[in-house]
Amino acid sequence: MAKKETFTPGKFDLKVKRSLAGLGLFTFSPIKKGECVIEYKGNILTPKQEEDSNSLYLFDAENGITIDGAPRWNTARYINHSCRPNCEIDIYKNKVYVMARKNIKAGEELTYDYDNDYFDAYIKPKGCRCIKCAPGLHKAKART
């Protein structure tokens, strides 16, 4: 299948709201597989700034470019990890895009699989709260 080269985020109704992992980003518009959902934005860090940073929102955009997505105006920072994600990351021209890896229904939380290093350092020690790893937690939440 040819790679889709449309890296312009759609005009989706996205909202930050409470999720099982804290705050999450939800869509209130359907999103089709392959569509560009949102760009991960932030301040570009120098190598020295990256080395000194304590941010949990650093993204390697390749070619020595690191984006610090910590500012709250970066709505994509609220997308949580899932071991069974509905989105994936695509890096194009040193920019980070979140793409739908399947059709996503209105009301769903947006998720992508964080890399292994981040997962092992920050998520695994606390226990993964995604639907694959903690299905009972999600069923309990659905009943409340």
Grouping H, G, I as helix, E, B as strand and the rest as coil, residue 127 is coil
pLDDT tens string 72-128: 999 999 999 999 999 999 999 999 999 999 999 999 999 999 987 888 888 888 888
Alpha-carbon distance 51 to 42, whole Å? 16
Residue 108, CA distances (Å) to 31, 57, 79 in order: 10, 22, 11
Grouping H, G, I as helix, E, B as strand and the rest as coil, residue 116 is helix
Contact indicator for 38, 27 with CB cutoff of 8 Å: no
Alpha-carbon distance 58 to 17, whole Å? 22
- Homologous superfamily (CATH) of 14-143 is SET domain (2.170.270.10)
Parallel/antiparallel/unpaired status of strands 14-19 and 22-27: antiparallel
Type of residue numbered 4: K
pLDDT tens string 30-78: 999 999 999 999 999 999 999 999 999 999 998 889 999 999 999 999 9
pTM of the entire predicted model: 0.87
